[in-house]
Structure 1
Amino acid sequence: MPFLEPFQSAIRSFKSLLKQQFAVLVDAKNNKITVPTTFEPRNQGIRGVWIPSTDCKVLTSKQRIADAMDFLADTGFNTVFPVVWNRGFTAYPSQIMREQFGVEIDSRYQGRDPLAELIVEANRVGLKVIPWFEYGFVSSYNLNGGHLLAKKPEWAARDCSGNLLKKNNFEWMNSLDAEVQDFLLGLMLEVAKNYPVNGVQGDDRIALPVEGGYDEKTVKRYREECGREPPQHCKERHWLHWRADIITEFVARLHRELKAINPDLLLSMSPSPYEWGLVEYLQDSQAWVDKKLVDMLHPQFYRRDFKAYKQLVDRLIGEQIRSEQVHCVSPGILLANRGSNYSMTPELLLQVIACNRSRGIQGEVMFFYEGLRDNGNALAEVLKNGPYAR
């Protein structure tokens, strides 16, 4: 009836607004409105924060975990990324680590399960949990491979001189080796199977420094598949892309096996900015997005001035991803760096978030928790009273 048209039009507009702004689902046929129970990054922007175990005490007690979850929920965050794998140890009791290395959990957490404790407290205040496998394929930091390579020296990555691959004091396992890949994949799937999490996350160490790949097994494989010897120049185009493709195949397998456990589980990755990450660490994050191997991408846009940050965002949106891919991107933002005594200013934090929104990027992940607590919680207050206000 004609006189009803204005009302019908208003209802249609209201439903459209709900879909866009409040992530509700509208069933037009049955005229029903329902709230989704799964966590869809395209429907709500990620407001995330990394919780490390270095320079951060959150995981050291149940009370600190509870206090941190209260603080983050009150500030307006919706997702936490707690570290569960670094320096060759897990922050949860791992059967894989016990069987292969005789060490079930990081000694700092003996008798506890920090991951389980955090999940309980995060769920209590409505936060999603995506465990963060910080060290990826790194075995140790300045420990000559640490206990992992002491037990399994055949897992070591090698440079063109045959030396243990070391870059910026990090020593690497061979990311191109099937056994090493099975090991890390096993850890990530172990968490996905045994804990009520929303996904798992790898970062800039789901990778291999470009100087690597010269171990005997990888050289033999390259010779068999390509009919030639690996070049001494580690950035030779064919050699570089051949190795990067093996990393991409690992990401594809991780995505496939994670979804086999539960299709709602998210694969979150936080690589170095493209294409620097490709030529330095064999991370072809562009291919990961193009092939739909990741649900969320958090490129580490760790810049300390607005112009440099904006350049990365402009390049990402203007050159690297298509408009329909923007929904999966939530850049990593550097709040603090203890090594250089850096602390982001409130003004810069507001600028970079405004830049994200202006380019259609609806979320970001902050590195790291303690940066929110610096200077009397200055950055947390800016978020709570500004872009993260409820």
Structure 2
Amino acid sequence: MAIQFRTLLQHWRKAVLIPLFLVSLLTVILTETPGIAQTPAVPPVGTPAVPIVRPEIRGVWLTLNDLDVMKDRTKVQEAMNQLGRLNFNTIYPVIWNSGYVTYPSAVAQRQGIQPFVYRGSDGHDILADVVDRAHRQGLLVVPWFEFGFMTPLTSELAVNHPDWLTEQRNGVQTSISGAGEVAWLNPFHPEVQQFITSLVVEVMTQYNVDGIQFDDNMSLPREFGYDAYTRSLYKKETKKDVPANPADQAWMRWRANKITAFMAQLEKAVKDRKSNAIVSISPNYYDFAYKFHLQDWLAWVRQGIADELIVQVYRPNLQSFIEKISRPEIQFAQQRIPTGIGVFTGQRTNPVSIYQIQEQTRAARDRGLGVAYFYYESLWDVAPEPANYRQAGFEALFPAPAYRSGVSMR
């Protein structure tokens, strides 16, 4: 090795090339280091093509489907032990879904939401227990604000605050989503913004969490925004009436910018409470997120609003999966913040093989990307193969640890 090194140095003796050689050598060394994610050398225009090394994201979402696990202290302990043993490093437990929170919330009660709380089997605080058990295994805990601006039309929140809801041009207040028929809180309404901010600050204050995550529902379908409040605000700021076409470019940009501005306020509120907290975002791929849900997450990355990006790419076809994770927006984000891909691990009615999971995980990691799996129970409990076989499959993917500190690494 020493002889080869001296030979190469002699060959590249010119001063202008020596730095490039050293960067290449460092790249080879880091590539062989376990637990390190490395961005491909495809930086934004005008930026040096130097790989940026960050701890690799190895995460999993804990959804309401995982409630049986989260409610039982013994099961939580076993789950966190297993994730730690298999060298995962981050969990994303749900805290906001269907207009309810999964922790005791004074903020929710003040807004007329009944004191309905998912509690553990012995009446304990689920989130507090999950945080404690996860941290003992060295896992970061980034609670997941799943529903974003989405809420069922029948929820207490929607019934008690009808003026908080937005609507389509024809007056319809709901749309069909993966969670069924839902209404949308108006992201431009100051009272809605204050409510969501208060929930987020409450979690950051009451629990020793490492951050907060907002997903694809921290957005608004482009058909919405025709409520009286938003029409008036648009008229006041632009001196124009709201366009009849929901896909009008200026109208889309105005709404997307408003959501971005609110995200900047949320990020500040989180960091004011805990300066090293991770503000994680988990959107759909960019073309869909912006064009259909006014979610300009690329601007969030550019403006430093997000500390972590996990793009949901839930599709069985490997070629389609690779096309989406190779997009330039993702490569751009890799140069700024830790970046990963959301990989679908199955559902009771839609099982996914460990082979597909491994294939997609390797495709992501080959491109310097981390991964987060949706969702915990389908990693090995609800699956087409035996649990021990699935666990061996994940063990083969992550043979060495990848430690994360919880401090935003830009």
The answer for the alignment partner of 2:372 in structure 1 is 365
1:209 corresponds to which letter in structure 2? P
Report the TM-score, using the length of structure 2 for normalisation.
0.80
8 Å Cα contact 2:142-2:212 kept in structure 1: yes
8 Å Cα contact 1:210/1:235 also seen in 2 = yes
Mind listing any 5+ residue stretches in structure 2 that lack a counterpart? 1-5, 7-24, 37-51, 402-410
Mean alpha-carbon deviation: is it higher for 344-353 or for 298-307?
Answer: 344-353
Q: Is the 8 A contact 2:34 2:400 kept in 1?
A: no
| Unaligned 5+ runs, structure 1 | 1-5, 7-12, 25-40
Alignment partner, residue 21 of structure 2: none
**1:386 equivalent among 397, 401, 404:** 397
Structure with bigger helix share is 1
CA contact (8 A) 1:165 1:211 kept: no
1:385/1:231 CA distance change after superposition, 3 Å: same
Tell me, yes or no, if structure 1 residue 356 matches structure 2 residue 368. no
Counterpart of 2:339 (choices 326, 329, 353) is: 329
How is 1:153-192 mapped onto 2 (pairs within 5 angstroms)?
A: 153-168=162-177, 169-192=181-204
Question: What is the CA–CA distance in structure 2 between the aligned matches of 1:356 and 1:320, rounded to whole Å?
Answer: 11
Which of 109, 127, 132 matches 1:120? 132
* Cα 1:183–1:192 shift into 2, 3 Å: same
1:79-113 deviations in Å (ceiling 9; x for gaps): 11001111111111111012222534425559421
Residue aligning to 1:101: 112
Q: C-alpha distance in 1, partners of 2:296/2:308? A: 15
Separation (CA, whole Å) in 1 of partners of 2:201 and 2:373: 25
Note the C-alpha offset of 1:52. Answer: 0.4
1:204, 1:271 within 8 Å by CA — same for their partners in 2? yes
Q: For 2:340, what is the secondary structure of its paired residue?
A: coil
Residue 330 of structure 1 contacts residue 365 of structure 1 at CA under 8 Å; is this kept in 2? yes
Q: Distance in 1 between matches of 2:321 and 2:347?
A: 16
The answer to whether residue 354 in structure 2 is matched with residue 342 in structure 1 is: no
How far is 1:359 from its partner? Answer: 1.7
Whole-Å separation in 2 of the counterparts to 1:207 and 1:100: 22
SS of the equivalent of 2:131 reads helix
Q: How many angstroms does 1:162 deviate by?
A: 1.8
**TM-score, structure 1 as length reference:** 0.84
Distance 1:328 1:43, change over 3 A: closer
Output the CA distance in 2 between the equivalents of 1:212 and 1:109.
38
Percent of pairs identical after alignment?
30
Distance 1:184 1:353, change over 3 A: same
Q: CA deviation at 1:289?
A: 1.1
Alignment of 1:139 onto 2:147: no
Offset of residue 345 of structure 1: 2.0
Residue number in structure 2 paired with 1:231: 243
Query: In structure 2, how many angstroms separate the alpha carbons of the residues matched to 1:272 and 1:325?
Result: 19
Other-structure match for 2:10: none
Per-residue CA deviations over 1:102-136 (Å, capped at 9, x if unaligned) read 53442555942100010111112111100011111
Partner SS for 1:331: strand
Shift in Å, 1:327: 4.4
Letter matched to residue 211 of structure 1:
E
For the residue of structure 1 that corresponds to 2:335, the secondary structure is: helix
**What is the alpha-carbon distance in structure 2 between the residues aligned to residue 18 and residue 354 of structure 1?**
17
Match of 1:3 in 2: none
Report the Cα distance in structure 1 between the residues aligned to 2:148 and 2:272, rounded to whole angstroms. 21
Q: How far 1:17 moved relative to its partner?
A: 5.8
Q: CA deviation at 1:379?
A: 3.4
State the AA in 2 paired with 1:325: Q
What is the one-letter code of the residue matched to 1:250? F
Q: Does 1:49 align with 2:57?
A: no
1:33: which partner in 2?
A: none
Match of 2:87 in 1: 76
Change beyond 3 A, Cα 1:42–1:294: farther
Give distance in 2, aligned partners of 1:82 and 1:319. Answer: 27
Q: Does structure 1 conserve the Cα–Cα contact (< 8 Å) formed by 2:113 and 2:156?
A: no
Residue in structure 2 matching 1:246, options 258, 277, 292:
258
Residue 163 of structure 1 aligns to which amino acid in structure 2?
V
Q: RCO higher in 1 or 2 (8 Å CA, sep ≥ 6)?
A: 2
Instruction: Pick closer, same or farther for the CA change 1:327–1:173 going to 2, 3 Å.
Output: closer
1:56/1:370 contact within 8 Å kept? no
Evaluate the alpha carbon distance shift between residue 42 and residue 161 of structure 1 in structure 2; reply closer, same or farther with a 3 A threshold. Answer: farther
Asked whether the 8 Å contact 1:77–1:388 carries over to 2, the reply is no
Note if contact 1:326-1:360 (Cα within 8 Å) is conserved in structure 2: no
Partner of 2:45: none
Give the total of aligned pairs.
358
CA contact (8 A) 2:95 2:103 kept: yes
Structure 1 position 384, deviation (Å): 0.9
Tell me how large the CA RMSD over aligned residues is.
Answer: 2.8
**1:130 aligned onto 2:142:** yes
CA shift, 1:43, in A, is 2.9
Report how far residue 44 of structure 1 moved: 1.0
Q: Secondary structure at the match of 1:277?
A: helix
- Closer/same/farther in 2, CA of residues 239 and 379 from structure 1, 3 Å limit: farther
Give the deviation of 1:23 after TM superposition.
8.7
